[in-house]
Structure 1
Amino acid sequence: MTIAFAVIGGTGLTEIEGLEVIHREVVHTPYGEPSGPITHGMIAGKRVVFLARHGYASNIPPHRVNYRANLWALKSLGVEKVVAVAAVGGITPLMEPTRLVIPDQIVDYTYGRAHTFFEDGLEHVTHIDFSWPYCVEVRDALLNAAQCAGVNVVAHGTYAATQGPRLETAAEIRRLERDGCDLVGMTAMPEASLARELGLCYATCAVVANWAAGKCDEEISMAEIHDNLTVGMAQARALLRGLVC
């Protein structure tokens, strides 16, 4: 049976509600080990695979995720479409906590990460077109799924990918806003560009966990992030179920 889509779960999403688990598979890759076994399952009669980006114990920080191994493992299983769920901070007014956003652009501020498959033993230098980093087909599917599930989403936004694992300073957030960014997170890159290199149709459902630094009067607390993610990830799960409605 063809895999309908793969889900990469971010912070707060280590399983999919309603997924009838068939089996879990350990996949070894030329780029090392993925974040964990791949979970195979069924939702509404459709085959889905799931991988927790930060590990099923949520113990892999964003700068240490083996993005190449994760994407290569999914590709090797025959996956063609990937939905990435990510917890983010909100910068611009629409990006309030618990909001779901389907971003359409990325600005990459990460460094030192293994960010390409095209580096050794090449017959020629390889470039990819990354003008529009997210797959239109999967973005449209997410937007339709949100409507099907009755979940309100913001349909556009620019995701600033920072290094982490620390949160940003208020001055850094002001810079990101001047650069045109609406959201800030730590996992969009190189995940999105590696997916493009492998020919995977990839898009993100971002869950706003908190206002970014300097965007509210209070300090950012982990308790606040946890509470907001509890609400936001419940909506994300409903959206994912909507993908097969």
Structure 2
Amino acid sequence: MERVIGVMGGSGVYEIEGLEEARWQSVETPWGAPSDAVLTGVLSGVRMAFLPRHGRGHVHGPSSVNYRANIDALKQLDVTDLVSVSAVGSFREEMAPGDFVIVDQFIDRTFAREKSFFTSGCVAHVSVAHPVCDRLSDIAFEAARGTGVSVHRGGTYLAMEGPQFSSVAESRMYRDWGCDVIGMTNMPEAKLAREAEICYASVAMVTDYDSWHPGHGAVEITDILATLRANTANAKALVAALPGLLGATHAPCPHGCDRALEHAIMTAPEKRDPALVSKLSTVAGRVLKG
């Protein structure tokens, strides 16, 4: 099976030197419009698809991103491996601004977003006990190390609704919960990628210490932007290394990410809503055809 690497990230991450056959491609989905057109191309012999999560010019806030449309659009483009690149605050002294964290767990505190493709009329339950693909996360870790950036393998990401940053009380509570980083965008993105049977890895770029840290005070957007700009080159280098590390052929995922729907759909075939089944043709067509 041909591998197609997807990258969900911010401005600048998709500007990868050497991307051949590059073009912005509009994709229509039954869930509405994605955040933007998708930049597709070929890098080191591997097909790539880059989707700006907030749209070019950062026009979508974390709560208004159409996460379902974004995942559906990438699935339509045959993405097999999706690497999320996003900014986070840190709850750990050792995870300092400028560091990368390869996330392996999430606590989802979002509440104003559509979190599943499967609603009334076709119900499914997938496991997100291990919400990222270990194989793809290992590759992302190796790619990050190759840039020379300080990178941490493993960490729990607290997904907050936003768009405001945490109060000091919230920040201290999340830290006490055992969370390592905090962000606003990886949920429900990771859950939807699992429902769409796409391998998913999260690369979190630390920009600040949130508000718990007594030596850093409140989060300042100017500081975050400065750290993000400094990290753009490292993020681009990480993405550029992925094709060489992953290769052009996608073998079956050893962790079953690409078979997550195998026994997940609960609604009896004769009870399924035909309109919803039609909308699910891209993300779940493999299991709904029968």
What range describes the TM-score normalised by the shorter chain of this pair? over 0.9
For residue 8 of structure 2, give the secondary structure of its aligned residue in structure 1: strand
Corresponding residue for residue 232 of structure 1: 231
AA in 2 matched with 1:176:
Y
Corresponding residue for residue 128 of structure 1: 126
Q: CA deviation at 1:41?
A: 1.4
Moved more, 224-233 or 200-209: 224-233
Are 1:14 and 1:56, in contact at CA under 8 Å, matched by a contact in 2?
no
Moved more, 218-227 or 17-26: 17-26
Q: 2:170 aligns with which of 169, 172, 190?
A: 172
Corresponding residue for residue 68 of structure 1: 68
Distance 1:139 1:14, change over 3 A: closer
Corresponding residue for residue 29 of structure 1: 29
For residue 63 of structure 2, give the secondary structure of its aligned residue in structure 1: helix
Corresponding residue for residue 256 of structure 2: none
**Partner Cα distance (2:68, 2:60) in 1:** 14
Give structure 2 stretches of 5+ with no counterpart. Answer: 245-290
For residue 28 of structure 2, give the secondary structure of its aligned residue in structure 1: coil
**Partner Cα distance (1:208, 1:239) in 2:** 15
**Which structure has the greater CA radius of gyration?**
2
**Partner Cα distance (1:143, 1:190) in 2:** 22
The percentage of aligned residue pairs carrying the same residue is 39
Q: CA deviation at 1:3?
A: 4.4
- Show the 5 A alignment for 1:216-231: 216-231=215-230
Aligned residues: 242
Are 1:3 and 1:49, in contact at CA under 8 Å, matched by a contact in 2?
no
**Partner Cα distance (1:92, 1:148) in 2:** 23
Alpha-carbon RMSD: 1.6
**Does 1:206 find its partner at 2:210?**
no
**Partner Cα distance (2:3, 2:37) in 1:** 16
AA in 2 matched with 1:237:
K
For residue 209 of structure 1, give the secondary structure of its aligned residue in structure 2: strand
**Partner Cα distance (2:163, 2:42) in 1:** 33
Distance 1:106 1:13, change over 3 A: farther
Give structure 1 stretches of 5+ with no counterpart. Answer: none
Q: CA deviation at 1:21?
A: 4.9
Corresponding residue for residue 156 of structure 1: 154
Moved more, 59-68 or 145-154: 145-154
AA in 2 matched with 1:35:
S
Corresponding residue for residue 16 of structure 2: 17
**Partner Cα distance (2:150, 2:216) in 1:** 26
The structure where helix makes up a greater share of residues is 2
Q: CA deviation at 1:202?
A: 0.4
Distance 1:147 1:96, change over 3 A: closer
Are 1:8 and 1:85, in contact at CA under 8 Å, matched by a contact in 2?
yes
For residue 142 of structure 1, give the secondary structure of its aligned residue in structure 2: helix
Are 2:13 and 2:236, in contact at CA under 8 Å, matched by a contact in 1?
no
Q: CA deviation at 1:75?
A: 0.6
